[in-house]
Amino acid sequence: MPTGARTDGRLLPLNSYENRVYQVSVEDGPLSPVAKFYRPARWSNAAILEEHAFVASLLAREIPAVSARVLEGTTLHEFDGFRFSVFKRHGGRVPDLDRSDTLEWLGRFIGRIHVVGALEPYRERPTLDIQTFGYEPRELLLTHGLVPDDVREAYERAVSLALEGVAQCFERAGDVRHLRLHGDCHPINVLWTDAGPHTSSISTTAA
């Protein structure tokens, strides 16, 4: 791979929605690293590096998160137009959300992330709000005919109800403060071991 490590050609696809993530087998090396390939045009380089810096700041404060490795002076690499980062492999399992002690531990964990996230704002990554992640995607789908005609009416009705509910939540909340946080916080991105949780991904800022 372009970082100087020699691979043996074996790749194991890992579960990921937005990006392509693979465990890469390396010749004569330590545990196989994980390579995360970023979807073209999804994020700017600055936005990706900003995310990497946030995760590094979590680790500096002893909050368990998997940070991108610094190789050749940077955490973001490119080969043939494809951008990627390399991470140390960390094992884990999906947390048992039916256990009250697990939920309490996760609450403390996410709370610690929020405390660090509030120290400074994101400047490159988008805000997770109803306009950019609600109204605009709905209009894009409807305007460009991406919803089949036979379900268009049902889709419009369902998404309108959903957006009305979100708008009411924002209205009840009143003035909110924006902070950096784990904008992709679902069980697949929170890996659990006997030592507790660690996160495998940090994403967008939110209100």
CATH fold group of domain 7-97+180-206: Transferase(Phosphotransferase); domain 1 (1.10.510)
By the 8 A CB rule, do 125 and 47 touch?
yes
Q: Which residues pair with 79 in a beta bridge?
A: 82
pLDDT in tens, the chain (207 residues): 555 677 888 888 887 766 688 888 887 666 688 899 998 888 999 999 999 999 999 999 999 988 999 998 999 999 999 999 999 888 888 899 999 999 999 999 999 999 999 999 999 988 888 999 999 999 999 999 999 999 999 999 999 999 999 999 999 998 888 899 888 888 877 889 999 998 766 554 444
d(CA 7, CA 23): 11
For the chain, which residues make up each domain, given as ranges? 7-97+180-206, 127-173
Q: Which of 33, 7, 6 lies closest to 22 in space, CA to CA?
A: 33
By the 8 A CB rule, do 200 and 191 touch?
yes
Q: Rounded to two decimals, what is the model's pTM?
A: 0.82
